[in-house]
Amino acid sequence: MKEIKVSIRVRGQVQGVGFRPFVWQLAQAFGLRGRVWNDAEGVRIEAAGADLAGFAAALSARAPKLARVDAVEVSPFAGSLPEGFEIATSRGRGAKTRVTPDAATCPDCAAEIREAGRRQGYAFTNCTHCGPRFSILNGLPYDRAQTTMAAFAMCADCRAEYGDPTDRRFHAQPVACPACGPRLWYEAGGQEMPGDPFALAVACLRAGGVVAVKGLGGFHLACDATNPAALALLRARKRRPSKPFAVMVPEADLAVLAEVTAADLALLRDAAAPVVLVPSRGALPEAVAPGMASLGVMLPYTPLHHLLLDAFAGPLVMTSGNLSGEPQVIGNDEARDKLAGFVDGVLLHDREIARRLDDSVERAAPPMILRRARGRVPGTLPLPPGFEDAPQVLALGGQMKGAICLVKTGQALLGHHLGDLDDALCADEFSRAVADYTALFDHRPALVAVDAHPGYRATQAGFAMGLPVAEVWHHHAHLASCLAENGWPLDGGKVAGIVLDGTGLGPDGTLWGGEVLLGDYHGFERRHWLKPAPLVGGDRAAQQPWRNALARLDQAGLSDWADQLFPNAPRDLLRQAAAKGINAPMSSSAGRMFDAVAACLGICPEAQSYEGEAAMRLEALASRCPAEDGGGYELGQTGKMLDPTPIWTAIRDDLARGTQACLIAQRFQTGLGLAFAGAARRLVEAGDARAVVLSGGCFQNVGLLGAVLWGLGDTPVLIHRTTPANDGGLALGQAVIAAARAFSGAESA
């Protein structure tokens, strides 16, 4: 049989996932000779043999667990090949290819650290199928020398595994063992303590202390999740009175704490190992997640976490190690310096964290990503049809939940959660992320996309770059982000976008946030919106729910009731400011409507201790009643405006009747959802829109999402599943809108 020679290009998530050893083993099985190596575009293979078609098919069909093969391109090859099959060294720097996100400890490694052997009890055990990736990466292509593992020279045993194609550590870049790899220790009072670091940490935790734990993408603050005193101590020290804490739980204990479905469990066990929101059974103290019906749980995702939980034998709060609002701490000295006042001890190690990656926060059903970071980034998204030749675009996102997006070679890379850029340190983090991502991915943007709000730090940073700037309206970006995530073609036609969020600047100079937009990537018009009300005090209206309630109740002619509800608030001052329009911008924000209703029901009327608290508590309250059939408070319609005036009388009457607060909360959510669904549905029925798109932070609310979907019936609808509906997804929308403009500019030129 004549030997045929081919060159094969494999594109996708194929580096740092054991792809070359997989190819090597496959080549042995197919009796091929040739070579495989990593390069700037992915994996290249040159091979000769009989069944090359079968080999090429098996490349995607049998790919390793963490790999994602997007394309296998086969072309003839005429060069010389070695007698056997070899793994050649990486060629070229460049970085068109993808890096794998960090992956949770695999079952083999989890078992290995609990068995007799040289890695028993070793906190940095990993293999080709698991372990740190993006969090240790300094440059591409992904090789040990380009990671923070470069500082550790492999011992002979590890080197043997690394070089053995039949070993599960063959070419596993972060391979390590106690003889050669990172070291773990425990510090208290700035001193390293002698003894087993896990035993020392656990003794402190059992005694109700707070321990800082250096993890994968940053430090956590840990405490005993079952100990009310420890929780109170952590909340007091962190000055975080009520924002929910995430809890790390051994899988065996999950069912006691939460109602976990098969879908939840699958998501918890995913290599991304996110924090998953699940219904709480109320087994933990209220202080873990005050006012919430759900609990954010995650499974241990590094060997360090497995060993810590084994030793502790119970659930641990694992909240990000930072000062409130600031970015998570990643450096050892930074931790000693900044966290000293928070903690009684620190579990430290000497493997550096190359970049800060918070835990991702997700829901399994309906699937949604609330915070996209560790384990998900830097996963990429193929751009929709029509965007294949998009120029390189850098999109900078919004002010809250900062995240940037890079467009290159038909892919969009949505960067990790950076926090709220109001905080100066988060803004620094943002600047570093722009430099980091553009360097790492060899990105040379032709244009920068920014939010049209001139006050956003990201917008200002964009204008300072000296590149052409595409300004994008906030709610248009939300709409486009959902279109792009769903692969809606560049010229796929117009959709009705229901965009419900906090606030964003609209083209008319008011703050939008409760919109039905008719549009696509190219443009939009505002077809319906929530009747605006003043945000008296500007930013303070976002922090103090009673301000929104007062404005709405006055608007509805229910000032007397407002006087009863908020007897001690400075109502006169507010009313004067509203009447004169002093620092009282008009807004159609749905988020502020949630705040207003929450305040009327006594949910943190005076102040929210974290962004979204009132709305999250209202959602939790609504979920405590069995769902009513239909129902919901009806909104009025005044021209194109959806008018909430009737809601307020209905709430007052329901309260007077002694209706349960959870039902009132539910009727509000349902009514609001049905009103917007109806308006959008009519645009589809009239033939103006081809589908409905749901975006904006309010769609993290499962009750509201459910009401809108129910109201839409069989109308085609697109929702967010893998990118955040909140402002964390904004940059993706900005990027595709800027790309669409670049195309239409090219056409008209």
| Binding residues vs Zn ion (CB under 5 A) | 106, 109, 127, 129-130, 155, 158, 177, 179-180
**158 contacts which partner out of Zn ion, Fe ion, none, CB within 5 to 8 A by kind?**
Zn ion
**127 contacts which partner out of Fe ion, Zn ion, none, CB within 5 to 8 A by kind?**
Zn ion
Q: How far is the CB of 506 from Fe ion (least distance, A)?
A: 11
**179 contacts which partner out of Fe ion, Zn ion, none, CB within 5 to 8 A by kind?**
Zn ion
The phi and psi torsions of 642 (rounded to 5 degrees) equal: -90, 120
Amino acid letter at 280?
S
Q: How far is the CB of 440 from Zn ion (least distance, A)?
A: 25
**Closer Cβ to Zn ion, 155 or 469, answer by number:** 155
Task: Render the burial of 81-98: b for 16+ CB within 10 Å, e for the rest.
Answer: beeebebeebeeeebbbb
Contact 271, 66 (CB under 8 A): yes
Task: For residue 297, give both structure tokens.
Answer: 């749980």
Q: How far is the CB of 106 from Zn ion (least distance, A)?
A: 3
**Closer Cβ to Zn ion, 168 or 338, answer by number:** 168
**130 contacts which partner out of Fe ion, Zn ion, none, CB within 5 to 8 A by kind?**
Zn ion
DSSP 515-576: EEEEE-SS-EEEEEEEPPEE-TTTHHHHH-HHHHHHHHHHHTT-HHHHHHH-TTS-HHHHHH
Q: How far is the CB of 15 from Zn ion (least distance, A)?
A: 17
The residue among 545, 555, 556 whose CA lies nearest residue 601 is 545
Stretch that binds Fe ion, among 108-116, 269-277, 504-512, 565-573 (CB under 5 A): 504-512
Q: How far is the CB of 7 from Zn ion (least distance, A)?
A: 32
**Closer Cβ to Zn ion, 93 or 159, answer by number:** 159
The phi and psi torsions of 79 (rounded to 5 degrees) equal: -75, -175
CA distances (Å), origin 727, targets 205, 359, 383, 588: 36, 17, 19, 17
Amino acid letter at 389?
D
**Closer Cβ to Zn ion, 167 or 436, answer by number:** 167
**109 contacts which partner out of Zn ion, Fe ion, none, CB within 5 to 8 A by kind?**
Zn ion
Would you call 577 helix, strand, or coil by DSSP?
helix
**177 contacts which partner out of Fe ion, Zn ion, none, CB within 5 to 8 A by kind?**
Zn ion
Convert residues 702-741 into a mask of x (bound to Fe ion by CB under 5 A) and - (unbound). Answer: -------------------------x--------------
**Closer Cβ to Fe ion, 380 or 695, answer by number:** 695
**39 binding Fe ion? (CB under 5 A):** no
**727 contacts which partner out of Fe ion, Zn ion, none, CB within 5 to 8 A by kind?**
Fe ion
Q: Which residues pair with 246 in a beta bridge?
A: 296
Segment 158 to 197, residues that bind Fe ion, using CB under 5 A: none
Q: How far is the CB of 155 from Zn ion (least distance, A)?
A: 4
Contact 42, 14 (CB under 8 A): yes
**Closer Cβ to Zn ion, 158 or 292, answer by number:** 158
**501 contacts which partner out of Fe ion, Zn ion, none, CB within 5 to 8 A by kind?**
Fe ion
Instruction: Give the one residue of 161, 187, 501, 554 binding Fe ion; rule: CB under 5 A.
Output: 501
The phi and psi torsions of 691 (rounded to 5 degrees) equal: -160, 170
Distance CA 398, CA 472 (A): 10
Kindly determine how many residues on this chain lie close enough to bind Fe ion according to the rule CB under 5 A: 3
Q: Using the 8-state DSSP alphabet, how is residue 253 labeled? A: G
What is the 3 state secondary structure string of 300-325? CCCHHHHHHHHHHCCCEEEEECCCCC
> Which residue minimizes CB distance to Fe ion?
501
Contact 518, 494 (CB under 8 A): yes
Q: How far is the CB of 117 from Zn ion (least distance, A)?
A: 12
Q: How far is the CB of 474 from Fe ion (least distance, A)?
A: 6
State the residues that interact with Fe ion by CB under 5 A: 501, 504, 727
